[in-house]
Structure 1
Amino acid sequence: MVSSTVKVTAVISQIVLTSSIALLTHATKKDGQYTYSTITVQMFSELIKLAVSAFLLSLQYAFGNEMPRISLEPLRFAKACIPALFYFISNNVNFIIIRELDPVAFQILNNIKILTTAVLFKYMMHVDVSGLQWRMLFVLCAGSVTSQLGSCVDGIGGMKGTTLGYSLKVVNAVLTATATVYNEKFMKGNDDSIHFQNCQLYFFGLLFGMGATVNHFGWEALDVRLLTEGYDTAVVLLVMNYAFVGIATSAVVKYLDNMTKTFAANAAMFVVAIISIVFYNEQPTLQLFVGMFVAAVSVETYNRQQNFGPPPGLMPAQSVEKLSAVGADGKDKVQV
C-alpha cells in the first residue's frame, strides 16, 4: 500500500510540472519562433526518464524491503509502445500549439482533455460515470473558461492564437486522453514495479525520439553539439521539466487514476493564471476568482463520488484486465 504522502506528492508535482510546460516553452521562444530543435527536447527528456527509472529500479532491487516484481512478457512489453507513441506525438505537437497560442490560452484549452478522458475512460475501461460526475465535468469546464472571460473580453492574454493552434489543441486533447487511458491500462495491468514499467515506456519513447532525430538530422545526429544548438538555461529546464512530469504522471496513474491527473492539469491552468498576474502584469478579474471557486466545488463534489470505479490507489491489477475483457453486460470485449 502506497502512503498518502507519496500520493499527495505525486499530485502536487503533477500540478507544478504541468503548469511549467507552457510557461517554459513560451519562455524559450525568440521572436515567436524556436531557435533550437524541439525534437531533441523530447529525445533528451526520454533519455533522462529512462536513466532515472533504471536507477530507481536498481535502488529498489538493492535496498527495498522486498524484491521488485518484474514480469518478462514479450507481448506486454510490446504494449508499452502504444501509450509511448501517443505521448511522443502529443508532446511534439505541444510546441506547435504553444507557438500559435499564449500560455494561458494553452492551459484553458487543456480542459478539453477532461471530457475526452472521461469518455475514453467509460468506453475503453468500461468504468461507469455517474450523472452527477458528468455534470461536474461540464461545470469544471465552465468554471475554467469563466475564469478567463475577463482576459478574452479585454483582448489581453486571451485566445488570440491562430486557427491552426486551436485545431491542433482539439486534436491533441484526443491524443493525450488516448495516451493516458492506454497508460493506465498498462500501468495497472499487473503488479510490476512502477520503475520497471516506466523503463518499458521510456525505452519506446527514446526509440521514437531517436528515430525522429535521425530522420531530421541524418547521420549528423551523432554530433551532440548540433543537437543542442540554440539551447540555453530555459531549454535545459524545459527538458528536465518534461522528464519529471512524465515520472510524476506515471505515479499518479499507477497509484491514483487518470481523472486525478486530468484534474491536476486543470489546476495547472489556475497556477499559470496566477503566475501571469504576478509576473506578467495580468489584471485579476472577478471572473477569475468565480471560475476558481466553481472549479474547486466541482472537484470536491467529484471526489465525493465513489462509483467511478474502485477507490483510487486500490484498483487491483486483475480488475483492470477484467474491465478491459468483460463489459457491463457480461459479454467478452476485445483486450487492447
Structure 2
Amino acid sequence: SAMANEPASVVFKVYCLTVMTLVAATYTVTLRYTRTVSSDMYFSTTAVCMAEVIKLALSLGMLARESGGFSRWKSALVDHVVRSPRELLKLSVPSIVYAIQNNMAFIALSNLDAAVYQVTYQLKIPCTALCTVLMLHRSLSQLQWFSVFMLCVGVTLVQWKPAELTKVQVVQSPFIGFFAVAIAVLCSGFAGVYFEKVLKSSDTSLWVRNIQMYLSGILVTGIGVYLTDGPHVMAQGFFYGYTPWVCLVVFLASVGGLYTSVVVKYTDNIMKSFSAAAAIVLSTVASVLLFGLQITVTFGTGALLVCISIYLYGLPKQDTSVLARPDASKPTREKIIPM
C-alpha cells in the first residue's frame, strides 16, 4: 500500500475532516428526527449493530479496491483475519472499551442532571489529548492545550440547556453518575488513541485494520442487542420499525465511522474531537432551521469558542527551543541545527 507511507496532502485531510463533520451533523439531525417523529420505534441496539455490519461490508469493498484483484484480496483476508487471532484480539480492545463507554454513559445519564452530564462528559476532549501525549509520546504546545480546554468549554456551552422542571422518577445517585462519567471519559480517550497507535505503528492497510475491528464490533454490538432487546427483537423482528429514514441513520453512522478511521490515520484523535465539536454546532444550527429550536446566547458564545479553538489548534507550533535552553546566549549553534 503506497498510500500508507506517503504523508496525506493537506487537501485530503481537510476533505476527510469536512466530510466527517458534515456526515456527523446530518446523522445527529436525522437521528433526532427518527427518535421523535416516527411512529413505530425501532430498537437502537439493532441500528448500532447494523452500522457495524455495513462498516465491515464497506471496508471489505475498499480493501478489494486497494488490492486490485480477487486473489490478493483473498490472501490479505486470510493472512490478516483468519490466521491472525492475535491481531483480531488486539483490535477487539477498542470495540469492548467503546461498549463499556456507551453503557457508562447510559448509567451516568440515569444518575445525573442532563446539563451536569454534558459538562463532565466533555472532559473526554482533554482526556484524549492526555492519552495522545502519554501513549503516542507526542507533545502539544501551550497554545494547543489552551485550545483543547477552550474547545471543552465551547462544546459545553453549545449543548447547554436550561434545566427542565420535571420531577425525576428514579432515585439518582450523583456519586454513581460521576463515577460512570469518569470511566466513560477514560474509555473514550483510551480507545481512540489505542486505535490510532495500532494504525500508525505498522504498515498494515487501514482497511485491514478496520475489518479486524468491525468483526469484533459486530460481535460486541450483537451481544448488546441480545442483552438489551432480546425478547422484543425475537417477538417483533430485528428490523422492526425501520423506515427509509432509519436506514439513512444507519448508513450515515457507517460512513461516519469509516471517515473517522481515515481521519485518525492521517491526522489524529484530537482533530477528531475538533471535528465532532464542529458537527455539534452545525447540527444545532440545522435543528434551528428544521425543528424551530431557539438559539440562545450560550449557544452563540459556545459556537464562537469552538471556532476559535479549532483555529488556534491548527496554528503552526511556535519554535521555543531557543528560549527553553539555558544557554540561549549562544544562538549560533541553534541556526545550524535543521528543524
Partner of 1:177: 189
Which of 45, 54, 65 in structure 1 is aligned with 2:51? 45
Deviations 1:193-215 (A, max 9, x none): 11111111111111222333345
Relative to structure 1, the CA distance from residue 266 to residue 101 in structure 2 (aligned partners, 3 Å threshold; closer, same or farther) is farther
Partner of 1:241: 252
The Cα of 1:188 is off from its aligned counterpart by 1.1
Partner of 1:119: 130
Gap runs ≥5 in structure 1 = 308-336
The Cα of 1:56 is off from its aligned counterpart by 1.2
Partner of 1:9: 15
More helix by share: 2
Which of 232, 244, 261 in structure 2 is aligned with 1:250? 261
For 1:47 and 1:30, how far apart are their aligned partners in 2? Answer: 25
Superposition RMSD on alpha carbons, in Å? 4.1
For 1:20 and 1:44, how far apart are their aligned partners in 2? Answer: 18
TM-score of the two chains, using structure 1 as the length reference = 0.73
For 1:184 and 1:271, how far apart are their aligned partners in 2? Answer: 26
Gap runs ≥5 in structure 2 = 1-5, 319-339
**Within 5 A, what are the aligned runs for 1:1-336?**
1=6, 2-29=8-35, 35-62=41-68, 72=80, 73-91=84-102, 111-147=122-158, 152=162, 167=178, 171-215=183-227, 226-306=237-317
The Cα of 1:86 is off from its aligned counterpart by 2.1
Contact 1:104 1:273 in 2 (8 A): no
Partner of 1:321: none
Relative to structure 1, the CA distance from residue 29 to residue 295 in structure 2 (aligned partners, 3 Å threshold; closer, same or farther) is closer
Contact 1:48 1:243 in 2 (8 A): yes
Q: Identity across aligned pairs (percent)?
A: 27
With 283-292 and 240-249 compared, the bigger mean Cα shift is at 283-292
Relative to structure 1, the CA distance from residue 249 to residue 123 in structure 2 (aligned partners, 3 Å threshold; closer, same or farther) is same
Structure with the greater alpha carbon radius of gyration? 2
The Cα of 1:68 is off from its aligned counterpart by 12
The Cα of 1:46 is off from its aligned counterpart by 0.9
For 1:124 and 1:273, how far apart are their aligned partners in 2? Answer: 34
Specify the code of the residue in structure 2 equivalent to 1:182.
Y
TM-score of the two chains, using structure 2 as the length reference = 0.72
Deviations 1:216-245 (A, max 9, x none): 576997x79611112223322221122111
Contact 2:155 2:302 in 1 (8 A): yes
Specify the code of the residue in structure 2 equivalent to 1:17.
V
Relative to structure 1, the CA distance from residue 173 to residue 236 in structure 2 (aligned partners, 3 Å threshold; closer, same or farther) is farther
For 2:267 and 2:243, how far apart are their aligned partners in 1? Answer: 35
Residue correspondences, number: 300
